[in-house]
Structure 1
Amino acid sequence: MGLELTLHCLGLPPGSKVIVPALTFVASFTAIIRAGHVPVIADIDPESWLLTPETASDVAAQTGAAAVLAVAAFGKPHDTKRWSAFRKKTGIEVVIDAAGAFGSQWVEAADVPVIYSLHATKSLAAGEGGIVVSGNPAINARVRQLSNFGINLDPEAGLPTGHLSFVGSNAKLSEYHAAVAHASLDQWHLHAGQRQKIYRTYRETLDAACGDKLQWQSGSAPAAPTIFCVRMAEPARNRMEKICQSRHIATRRWYQPLLHKHAEQVTPTIKMPVPIAESIASGLIGLPFSLFLSSDEITRIAEAARQATATHRKQLSPHLDHHG
């Protein structure tokens, strides 16, 4: 809802084209459609696994896109100052979907709204809900109003207080969830440190077990990791899934199928070539991660990864073979 309402507030004509990366959760995609616009699915960077201003510029030149919904995939932050420079140069609006990046994604450019999720799986968990952060008072006021059905509560707005001035939605954070979020925030720094420690141990253990057969998303680890995702050669990924299933270890193929592979009836959509996203996704695997993950469990998972990658040498595409 935060994404959808923010897109509504950009002042774009109905049916505007909005660029979104192929590697993201479907909520990014559906928010664009529900806001009355057309998603333009674009490729990602081979190292960061994120949409970049350079790619967005190329795609916009080809499609006439009016906005970008960039995603902080797996909690990796975007440089909002770079996106602000892109916005000023091109006139194309930018919104950051930072659903899983609370604590990592900073809002350093006032003209680039950032939206966080408070879902139970996120680092700041309220059970459900979200936060819209923007340095634009007009966007903030409009999002607040739209989240309350579109009712005018501003006596200076030129309309009677209580009158419906826009068609909004009931997207307010409930009092209960707000209370849970406050309690979660009290423990956030403690839990963030614990998550970082587990993440470092986990990655070091997997690297020791698998050598150079793994690719990690480039950049520093998120401030409070909630997802643990790694790329290996596709045959190794497939073996890893089977080994883990036999040992009762859960795995996930995060953000798959990629956006351009969803049902044809999910329209309208413009699909640009996404060879990098397809190559990366073919070997991505999400492994268990939580505050309760023990060193013994990490060792078990690393042993499964060692077996999965042992029978083949590294098979990552040469132009995508980076180790972050």
Structure 2
Amino acid sequence: MNELSRPADGAASAFLPVYEPDLSGNERRYVLEAVDSTWISSRGAFLDRFEGAFGEVVGTPHVTAVCNGTVALHLALHCLDLQPGDEVIVPSFTYIASVNTIVQAGAVPVFADCTAEDWLLDPVDVERRITPKTRAIMPVHLYGAVCDMDRLCALAERHRLEIVEDCAEALGSTWRGTHVGRFSAAATFSFFGNKTVTTGEGGMVMARDAAMLRRLRIAKGQGMDPDRRYWHVAMGFNYRMTNVAAAIGLGQIERLPAILARKKAIAARYRANLANHPFAFQEMRPEVDSSDWLVSLLLPRGANRDAVMERLARLRIETRPVFYCAHHMPHHERPDLVLPVSEDIAARGMSLPSYPALTDADVDRVCEALVEVVQRRG
């Protein structure tokens, strides 16, 4: 048994997951209140309270809660009235839901590359891919970083396109002081268990205005007229959040400033500890205030990522690869498409433990283990 496979003693042997939710606030109390009220499905006081609190964070009341982040994307795209053959430009380097929902909405995903510095949608490559069939651009704000919204909004205005922001990983992130999602016809958020705010499963859609919000609310509730029960005025779905999930979300969002502050401190410590080692982090543009959702980095070229992750796992440190490129997936494969920046990031990227309860000693332990493992060439 070598040193790296030998279990450590004491605190160093504790398992460090990539993420775990912090449920130490009012979450339990609010859930019990929801249960005691008997309002446990998609109606109840906590839904209004959660949407209201979320709206205060993002700076607009035009928000509506849904049952997960994927249906949030589909709902937003559905309400753009996309037609068969319409194109939506999306980064290939993204979680697959960004792409699948474009197809679900009847449109065609057009894959664009990302920039090497921030790993996000490259406006230059987006412009190359605009055609007469293009209807929308989908910026995806990965890991808490924010796309170049000045250039993307200018492109959209010049070509009369809509923007749908995928903000699943960017609650708390801003561009020039404006919260992500405020640049779109509709924008979406996720509250999966590993997100900055969780409801277990859940999502939110932010609308540009009251008219779009009304469309979203009708569509998420089976197309029923909100003023006439069981009269259905449009094609719709059952995408509603439950009152119990909203109760968890309210308890979470009450502590959002403290959660964000701790996550920023964790990210800063990772960057400081690893500054003199051959790792590359996402570089935030000066206009960005990142929520630092999930600290991710690129391993040096030549390192075996799978072997690095396996050896860290033997040290009871969980990591995960960044996303694989969507244009390499069997159901979206584009054999002739080469996106060199996205493909390089997808091959070398790795995410580290990033949950708010991590201590400084935990972060130091991860850094020390990572450096040692990589120095041994993974």
TM-score (norm 1): 0.84
State the distance in 1 between where 2:336 and 2:98 align: 15
- Matching of residue 24 in structure 1 with residue 94 in structure 2: yes
Equivalence map 1:100-249=2 (5 Å): 100-105=169-174, 106-107=179-180, 109=182, 111-154=184-227, 162-208=230-276, 210=277, 213-219=278-284, 223-238=290-305, 239-249=307-317
- Matching of residue 7 in structure 1 with residue 73 in structure 2: no
State the distance in 2 between where 1:131 and 1:303 align: 38
8 A Cα contact 1:114 1:132, kept in partner: yes
- Residue matched to 1:316: none
Superposed CA RMSD: 2.4
- Residue matched to 2:126: 56
Structure 2 letter corresponding to 1:97: D
Deviation at 1:93, TM superposition (A): 1.6
Using a 3 Å threshold, how does the CA distance of structure 1 residues 73 and 87 change in structure 2: closer, same or farther? same
Question: How much identity, in percent, do the aligned residues show?
Answer: 26
In the alignment of these two chains, the number of paired residues is 300
- Matching of residue 252 in structure 1 with residue 320 in structure 2: yes
Deviation at 1:267, TM superposition (A): 5.3
String of CA shifts for 1:189-231, please: whole Å, max 9, x gaps: 11111111122112211224x2xx1111111686433311101
Structure 2 letter corresponding to 1:173: M
Deviation at 1:97, TM superposition (A): 0.2
TM-score (norm 2): 0.73
- Residue matched to 2:29: none
The 10-residue stretch of structure 1 (181-190 or 75-84) with the greater mean CA deviation from structure 2: 75-84
SS of residue in 2 equivalent to 1:143: helix
Using a 3 Å threshold, how does the CA distance of structure 1 residues 124 and 42 change in structure 2: closer, same or farther? same
Which ranges in structure 2 are unaligned for 5 or more consecutive residues?
Answer: 1-70
- Residue matched to 2:66: none
Equivalence map 1:263-282=2 (5 Å): 263=330, 266=331, 272-282=337-347
Structure 2 letter corresponding to 1:200: A
State the distance in 1 between where 2:213 and 2:239 align: 14
Equivalence map 1:63-82=2 (5 Å): 64-82=133-151
8 A Cα contact 2:167 2:181, kept in partner: no
8 A Cα contact 2:85 2:133, kept in partner: no
SS of residue in 1 equivalent to 2:280: coil
State the distance in 2 between where 1:145 and 1:271 align: 41
State the distance in 2 between where 1:295 and 1:225 align: 16
8 A Cα contact 2:193 2:199, kept in partner: yes
Deviation at 1:27, TM superposition (A): 1.0
State the distance in 2 between where 1:270 and 1:8 align: 28
State the distance in 2 between where 1:301 and 1:195 align: 15
Which ranges in structure 1 are unaligned for 5 or more consecutive residues?
Answer: 155-159, 313-324
8 A Cα contact 1:22 1:277, kept in partner: yes
Deviation at 1:3, TM superposition (A): 0.7
String of CA shifts for 1:155-207, please: whole Å, max 9, x gaps: xxxxx653112221111111111111111111111111111112211221122
SS of residue in 2 equivalent to 1:296: helix
State the distance in 1 between where 2:339 and 2:372 align: 31
State the distance in 2 between where 1:6 and 1:268 align: 24
- Matching of residue 42 in structure 1 with residue 112 in structure 2: yes
Question: Greater relative contact order: 1 or 2 (C-alpha under 8 angstroms, separation 6 or more)?
Answer: 2
8 A Cα contact 2:163 2:183, kept in partner: no
